[in-house]
Each structure stands twice: as C-alpha cells, then as structure tokens.
A and B are shown apart, each in its own frame.
Chain A
Amino acid sequence: MKNFTFPKSPTGIQGLDEITNGGIPKNRPTLLLGNTGSGKTILAMEFLVNGIVLFDEPAVFMAFEEKKEDLVMNLKSLAYNLDTHIANNKIYIEQVLINPYEMRDTGMYDLEGLFVRLEQAIHKVMAKRVVLDSLDKLFYGLDNKILRSEFLRLLSWLKKMKVTAIITSEIGDHFLTHMGIEEYVADCVIALDNRVTNQIATRRLRIVKYRGSFHGNNEYPFTIDEKGISVYPIISEAFQQEPTSKRISSGIKDLDEMLGKKGFYEGSSILISGTAGTGKTTTAASFAYSVCKAKKRCLFCAFEEAPKQIIRNMGSIGFHLDPLVKSGILTFYYSRPTLQNLELHFLAIKKIINEIKPAVVILDPITNLMTEGPNSDIRSMLTRFVDFLKTQHITVMFTAAITIGSIERNPSDEGISSMVDTWMVVQDIDIDAERSRSLCVMKSRGMAHSTDVRKFKISTKGITLLPIVANSKGPLAVSKRKAKEHGNLSTSKESIWVKENSPQ
C-alpha cells in the first residue's frame, strides 16, 4: 500500500487543486461551509462547469435556495455558459422547493422524495458531479433525529452512486454546526469566509479537514471575478527557482556604481523608501526609462499620481516617457487603492503581466495600498506577489512613503524591507543648513554594495549621486542624528562649527 494516492477529482479552480493536492475526493461528498455571500454557490458551480469543460463530466445542480432561472441569471456575469451546457444536456439544474407550510408532526418520515429526484437527475445527464445547494434550506424545520439519519443516508447514497458531490451549508450560529454532524461525516470539509476589515472585504478559503490526504492548513485568500474563482496559495516554485546572476542597470550610473558597479540583479525585488518629496517616484521612473531604452518591457503601477502627471513631471528632468508609452514598451496601470481590495489590485496587475510579459514591474507607492488592511495581510499578499514575480524572472521595484521619523518605528515598512533583496533609503539631510536629498543602500543581497550616503541630485539632466562634501570648513553633517553623535564625540569641533555658522 506504499505510495497510495487517494483518488481525487480536480476542481479546475486555480489554486484550489494545489492546496488539496489534486482536488476533492473522487466519488465522495465534500462539504462546503460558508456564510451568506461567501461564494459557496459560485465555487460549487465552477466545480461543475470545469468538470464539463475540462474533464467531460456531466453535472447535476440541485438548488434548494434559488430558482433555476435566477441561478442561471445570477451566474450570467461569469463566463460559465450555463445555457449552452443545459442545452447540450451536460448539466441539469433542478430547483427543489422546500414547502414551509407542510405539516411535519404526524409521525416518522424520511427524505426519500429527494433521493428519487436526485437519482432521476443523475440518470438524465449521466452525471459524475453533483452539487446540493444548500443543506440549510433542505433541512429547514427538520427533526434533529431525522436530520442526522437522513444526512448520513444522503452521504452513503452519494458514495454508492459514484458521484463526486459538493454539499453547501451555512456556517456559524446554526443548528448544524451546533451538532457538528458535518465535521464527523464528510470526507472533506472546506470553509469559506468573507471578512471585512477596514471596510474592505477579503474572501478566504480553508481546508478544515481532508480524510486520507495531506492538504494546506492555512487560510488562503481567493477572489471572484468574471473568469470565476482564483485561490492564492503561496507559490512554492519561487524557492526552487534558479536565481540569475544577470544584472540590470538602475538607470542611474552613480547608483550602479554603488551597487557593486553593475546595478540590480535581474528578477530581484527592490524597495525605495523615504519621506515625501525625496525623489522616490523619480528614481523609479528613471529605472523604468532605462529599462525601456534597453528595449525591455516595463509595467509602471501608479497608485498616487496619474500616469499623465508622471509623464509630465519626468519630462521636466529629461525622461521622456510619452513616446515609450506610445510604442507600447512602457505600460501604466493606474488605480485608486481604495477602489478595490489589494487582492483585486494584484489580480489586475497579474493579468497585465501575463499579457505584456514585462521585464520590470514598478509599484509606486506600495504604502498607499497599506491603508487597505492590516499589515500582516499586506505582507503575506506582497510575499505572494513577489514570489509570483520571481517565478516569472521579473524585477520588481516598490517605493514606500514613510513618515518623518525613524524607519524602525514604521513596522509596515520594516516588514517589507526584510522581504526585499535590495533596499534603498532616500531622505532629506541638512548640509550646512541647506536641505539636500540623499540616498543610501541599506542592503543589497549578494553583492558588495557601497555604504556611503550620497547626495542625490535631480536636475534637468536626470539624477546624479555625489559624495557629500560640506561647503564650509565644518565637519560633515550627514544627518541630524549623526551630527549629534559626532557632536558628542567631539564637542570642540562642533562648537567651532556652530560659532562659524552663527549669525554675526
């Protein structure tokens, strides 16, 4: 019995088959739990439609909740082509009305009527996949004893019929959950959840149990769009990817010098963080410009400035992006962060990536997306997204706006900075009472990078990085903190400096 693999029925749903190691138990019932609006019906229907389209397995859908017409209508917005499948006898949808006015207290009864109908329906299309949606409506008002025995009978009957079935049910403060019968009898239990945090709803999926099979234990975010359901497990391929030693120029000659004289690694992730007005977008745009000039495609995702504004602003310092956009080598994605949740943003971006296959993706700024949910969520989302990009060998650059104050005090930024391969900080510094921009490379995995803080100069000719030289005879005042440290070490020098600069 070594290497026994449980027979499985692939759902064809992106991500779900990965989590379940190949699908739900074949010829067995699976219980799909979830609150109202968590996507049970859609997931169940997609399982059936995929069965028809991908695996040539006809299907039966027993609807206890919705009318057949309503169901077909509601799913019209998704590309399931139900009408065609119905016409081709590939799917049979039957509405089972549960009459609430039936008297049920004259003695014992069972749900044989349902079994008769189900058997007829299965024979009608020679179904291999069956969905019962939902149990709550079917078992509404049922005596507990009858409910339990009929549910068990239904499960063993479905097994006997050799159909792969999904039975949906509400979760939460419900009699079924109180009795916990679903947990004991089904071979596979999947729970869906639609949680609202910070006014943004996020859908999640979790395999509660899977008898006789390994499965992912985590909660996985999933989305529903016009193409159906997509579940996002952390992609494991990223860790098996062979990292490249090829380099890509940052577009700033002096910065390449600082990065081991060659620039970034191809397919690495780069973070630029800094306070407002320090030149993050400019650095990112200059990277995009140089990538496009090297005849590589670039996707610029703007969450703050509109693309036209970026194009105008960058034109003023010699980066003419407009022709690049027109030739199609540079693509802008612009969206308001609050428009939709982060997953949908990433989904939209992923779609564009799959279409245009860029070499570089820029997200400016990632911190605007941070308002969208708790940081742990964002982090896992970003991790997944970066993993995805790594599998595609795409170099990604994020910018992050941080508030004035230490970076250490900003946990969200720290969360990202530990995740990326190269981290650069741009900040304002005071040199001789003059405000200057500075740039330093905080970390850069796998290369001997400079530890200098360089003066960061934006002019009509682009960006140049200069060593910091104080104009006066005073010592270097790299930053306020350093100045203070310096001051503590050599008070005498400091005092001279102060004397020299103080008004006469």
Chain B
Amino acid sequence: MKNQEHTKATRYGMAIDLDKCTGCGVCVIACASENNVPVMYDESDKTRNISWMQVYILTNGSQFPHTKVIYIPRPCMQCDNPPCVPVCPATATRKDPNTGIVSQIYARCVGCRYCMAACPYHARDFNWFDPHFPEGTDRYLSPEVSPRTRGVVEKCTFCHHRLMRARTRAYREGRRDLREDEYIPACAQACPAKAITFGDLNNPGHTVSRLIKSPYVFRLLGRLGTEPKVYYISSEDWVRRMADNYLPGEFKGRG
C-alpha cells in the first residue's frame, strides 16, 4: 500500500477524548438519523444491523474494586492508507485527495464485501435488506444523503454532505476556504460531553491539530500502517495498550 498523495493541505480528522466520553450513545443516534440509516426488523441481530458509529465497551479485566470501564466510539477511521480502497474491484471507494475522506459510492458498489474483509476496524456495514423506515420516521429523512439499497456496503463518511453544504454556503460568500466551525459531523456536534473534536489536521489553527500532539494520543491498531485520521486521547495506560497488539513487555506506558 502506497501512501496516497494529497494535492491540497486539507486533511480532515477527528480526536476523541475517551476521558470525557460517558458512553451515552448520542453520537450513534445522531449519526443514524443524520445519515438515513434504516431501522432493522431486529436491531439486536448484530451480525446484520447497520451502525456507522459504534460504541465499544472496554474493561481492564481486573476484579472489583479495581475494575475500570471505558467507552470507545468508533466511526470510520478515514485512513490515510485505507486497506478497503485497493481491494475494491468496482472502484466504489476511493480516498479523496483533497480532503482525505474515504468515499463510498453506493450506486457503484457491487456488494462483494472485500472492503469489509479488508477493514480492520469493522467500520463497514452491508445492507442485507432493503432499507425500512417505520411509519412516521420517514418524515425525518435527510434529502442530502442518498439512500442505499439492499446489496451494497455503506460506512461513515464524516458526514460528507455537511462538507458539501458548507462549501456551497462559502461559495455564496465568495470564499473557497472553510472556517473550523463550518463543517462538523453530526456525532461531534451532538456529543454532550464534547469528547469529539473535528477539524483539519494539517491546519495549525484548528483545535484538533493541537490535540493530536498530546502525549496521551493513540490510534486503533496504530502499528498496522493504515494511518487512521481518527485519534483517541486517554490518560489510562491500559487503554492505550489495548488499542494495539503488543508482545509481552513491549508496551511502554507514558502516563
């Protein structure tokens, strides 16, 4: 996998502060309603349901009273070296060189699910059924997000339609550059604990580019070479250790 080059300096990314995350799941709900994610006949069927944003629970495995629990919200990592891209036989998924966002074109997807097999984060979901919206909920659908049919793969797009909307608004004012607060995904906007910070990683003026320089920063399976643009912050050593696979004695804590 070669590092796909950027033509512009913009590289959208996210920093999630796990010390702040309470695991409330608002990001999951906000994401699903923003992106027209359908409700399944049986949402408890976790092998078939669709969740662009998933909150995982992590425990340190110790007995009471030393038990510690942490929640990890997991959107698409929007990797700089996305393993899903080279495996796609239909070129339905690409990394946008201008923004760093990994696209997913539903009309192009043939449903082979190679990308799902390639993704080490389980960030992609397959539509096993045609979308179903219980009566009444269809009135809340967003016209800015295109619907998916049975047989295609979908994933988090960093609420890409919001970027389009922000760009359109900026063009109206004759600007090409976006301000930091103009484009934020639904999960980051909805988080009541303000655990999710979003912005341009390459822009020193954006809060997120400062946050990812923290010594407490890590990425999920960071040593795999996928270069995710979703960064996590945790002051707990055991959390950072669990985020990757280490040999015994290899991991050196920082906190």
Specify whether A and B are partners.
no
Which B residues contact A (CB, under 8 angstroms)? Answer: none
